Amino acid sequence: MPHYRFCFFIFIFLNIFCHELSAQANTVSLAKVKDLTQKACDYLDETNYEKSLQKSGMALQYAFDLKNDTLISRNYNIIAINFHDLGEVDKAVFFYNKALAYAERSNIVSLRMMITSNLGNLFFFEKKLYGTGITYYKESLKFGKQQKYLKEIAITNLNIVWSYFKIENYKEGLPYLRYINKHQNDLEGKSNDIALNFLNGMYWANENNAVKANEYFLKAISVGESKDEKTDLIYAYLEYSKFLNKIGKSEEAYKNLLSYSKIRDELTDKEKLKRASIAGFNRELDEYKREIDKIENEKIEQYRSLKKSRIIVVLFVIISLIFLLLIITLIKNIRLKKKANIELLQAKEIAEEASLLKTQFISTISHELRTPLYGVVGITNMLLEEHKELSQSQHLSSLKFSARYLLSLVNDILQINKIEENRVILENLTFNISDEIIMIKNSLSFLSQKNNNKIKIDIDPCIPEYLIGDKLRLAQILMNLVSNALKFTKDGEVEIIVKLNKVEEKKYFLEFHIIDNGVGIAVVDQSKIFEKFVQVGRKEEDYQGTGLGLSIVKRLLGLFGSTINLESDIGAGTSFSFVIPFEHDPQKTRKIIDEIEVDLTSSEVYKILIVEDNLINQLVTKKIIEKNNYVCEVVDDGFKALEILEKENFDLILMDINMPLMNGFETTKRIRLQDIKTPIVALTAFDKDEITDEAISAGINDIIVKPFEPVKLFKIISYLIKETKNVG
């Protein structure tokens, strides 16, 4: 009976499919897919699995090109039936689920009915998971009722009864048995009468009605012996034997058990011959499944790339139009600046709307800018290192400065977005406040010299030597405030003052003051300067900047639970102040210091594999690696990485994430499936927080965001390689 029902649903599929094919649009490419799918059906009906899989694979690829969910679902279903009939149960489940997913998208009820029924058969007869089989049968029954497929509904009810009776849940199975008994004329298959009779026999045996049970069992056996199909007959003999043994007729029970064993052995021998005939073909099934996966991955990646390209183009057009509108608006405002206040207000609203759209646009493409910036910075460094005579070139210096300035802008925008989306988590690091502030002073020495300013530092001696807190966020706050003060001060002084405000147990509250004697900020503008993209003071001089620094400062202080105070007036300088609590715990500090990894250097020559599709980035990364006397190989995509890893061993892999055909996550998963333990570091233009979870899940060991400092890369390489060798 399982084989009969299996073939029966193939027959249903052929009828439904052929009927609906004639209703499709008569285009050349679509007609080709239909023809290939029909041939795959025909070959499957003839049990020519090799040709059926070949045709369905080709049809699937064309269906993806057409983005036709119905055809994709049907070809996945054909592939699943092939694997099902070949005994590759797990692969069949995989492709049935693929087929079901696309059937749900196409919303073809008959298709969903067929696939869920096939899954029910698989879990019931092959996996013996009767509960799961019942779930799928009921789902199929729901779809069948919508379309009023009487014969299919009857067969599905029969399967549900059988499933419930197998787990001895006669109460749940009884309503379905009553339905079949009432609609048994709908059962036209050559073996279903056998199943219906012995299922009735099982029910009455459970009800202890020996007369009715015996009558139904004998009828099932009588019908079965007159038929060529013996699959259901063996179940009739088996269940009848159990019934006879239950009522004490051991001898008759034994005879029926012998009949069961005889037919079972005959069917088993046939199955062995069938398996032997396809054993060689089974070895090719894994490769076929990989090819199907590759087709879908390629098409999905193409869809994503196309969608992303369209979004970027559309956004670029929109922002260009907005910029053009802004220019026109500004020209009109200059010419008509004496017009009524209502016109000025409208222009302001247009500018604010444009600014909002600009922010959204830049947020969308900012991570795309990191990749070319990595190439610009890397190639500039290469030119300066390889051609010392160019070290004084203003052109190269301007190029490097411009790239780093643009990178700073991208980082500022990403920082704002991360804070607003609550994705910034403060860290606990041990640090010395004096060292941090001196480092900030040295970092800004160029800016202070440019405007002939002096930076003065005054730190309260009562502050402990070591504190615990997020020193990186603190440094970012101070860098923004001090650099802002230096920009708006000429021939003056910027003072950094740190006082101990109060102590509560282990919490030391530090009070910071950033004071300058520059141009100052008008009272009317003081409420605006902490907003994004807002700048004041450009009327007389063009101060370089993005208008994001103070906005970032305000939001970072909010993470510390603090606020910022401002005192300023035009021509009288500016003073910013805020209070941040830090922890002072000598034991905890010592523990943190002990756990800090020292700079790991090695004289060993490591072999590195670079997986990167961008030619410029390949060149830059390879140059950085070889500069450290490492050996490296470069491949363009994930498939080539898998190929080279089969032949060669590497100490570490540098993996790009956004690659065509197969991205870095999928490549890493496949590497790990091959039981390759080589450390993998993601080199990516994505923000680290956006991909950390997926990277860990894929098996990536660490992440470095482009552009990066080579020293940081080599520390991570050395640490991961040594850690892997120690574990091994």
Q: Is the domain of 145 the same as that of 206?
A: no
29 lies in the same domain as 142: yes
Across the chain, mean pLDDT equals: 77
Residues 537 and 543 sit within 8 Å (Cβ to Cβ): yes
- Token output for 83: 């694997």
Among residues 154, 182, 210, which one ends one of the domains?
182
CA distances from 599 to 10, 81, 149, 603, 713 (A): 65, 58, 72, 13, 11
Q: Please give the helix or strand (H or E) that residue 74 lies within, else none.
A: helix 69-85
Average pLDDT over residues 475-496: 88
**At CB < 8 A and 24+ separation, what contacts does 93-98 make?**
93/119, 93/122, 94/289, 95/292, 96/122, 98/296
Angle, in degrees to the nearest 10, between helices 89-106 and 285-335: 30
Provide the residue range defining the domain that includes 653: 607-727
This prediction has a pTM of 0.39
pLDDT value for 515: 93
Token representation of residue 224: 């079965």
Q: Quick one: pLDDT band at residue 20, thresholds 50, 70, 90?
A: very low
Neighbouring C-beta atoms of residue 295, cutoff 10 Å:
16
pLDDT for res 644: 92
Are the C-beta atoms of 698 and 667 separated by less than 8 Å? no
As a whole number of angstroms, the distance between CA 678 and CA 652 comes to: 6
Regarding whether 655 and 721 lie in a shared domain, the answer is yes
Strand 702-705 to 565-568 pairing: unpaired
> Which among 135, 179, 131, 132 is positioned nearest to 158, based on CA atoms?
179
352 and 485 assigned to the same domain: no
**pLDDT at residue 609 is higher than 90:** yes
pLDDT above 90: percentage of residues in the chain = 13
Match 């199943």 to its residue by tokens. 195
pLDDT tens for residues 157-182?
Answer: 888 888 888 888 888 888 888 888 88
What confidence tens digit (pLDDT) does each residue in 117-142 have?
Answer: 888 888 887 888 888 888 888 887 77
Q: How many domains does the chain have?
A: 5
Look at residue 668 and tell me if it is in a domain: yes
Write the pLDDT tens digit of every residue in 528-554. 777 755 555 544 444 455 556 677 788
Which of 55-59, 152-156, 217-221, 422-426 has the lowest average pLDDT? 422-426
The reply to whether 200 falls in a domain is yes
Q: Which residue has the higher pLDDT, 393 or 204?
A: 204
For residue 64, the tally of other CB atoms under 10 A from its CB is 21
Q: Which residue shows structure tokens 């670079």?
A: 610
Cis check for the bond before 707: say yes or no (omega within 30 of 0): yes
Q: Which of 252, 283, 314 is the last residue of a domain?
A: 283
Nearest to 703 by CA among 723, 686, 719, 682: 682
Element of type H or E holding 613: none
User: Domain boundary at 420, 441, 471, which?
Assistant: 420
The 8 Å CB, 24+ separation contacts for 359-364 are: 359/413, 359/532, 359/533, 361/315, 361/316, 361/318, 361/319, 362/413, 363/413, 363/414, 363/417, 364/311, 364/312, 364/315
Mean pLDDT along residues 432-458: 85
Compute the average pLDDT of residues 672-691. Answer: 86
Q: Tell me: do 34 and 81 sit in the same domain.
A: yes
Distances (CA, A) of 398 to 391, 600, 643: 12, 34, 42
| Whether residue 423 has pLDDT greater than 50 | yes
334 plus 476 within the same structural domain: no
3-class secondary structure, 658: coil
Output the six-digit token pair for 371: 């990749």
Ramachandran angles phi, psi of 586, nearest 5°? -55, -40
Q: Residue 418: its pLDDT value, please?
A: 61
Each residue of 636-656: pLDDT tens digit? Answer: 999 999 999 999 999 999 999
Q: Assess whether 40 and 158 both reside in one domain.
A: yes
Q: Is the pLDDT of residue 248 over 60?
A: yes
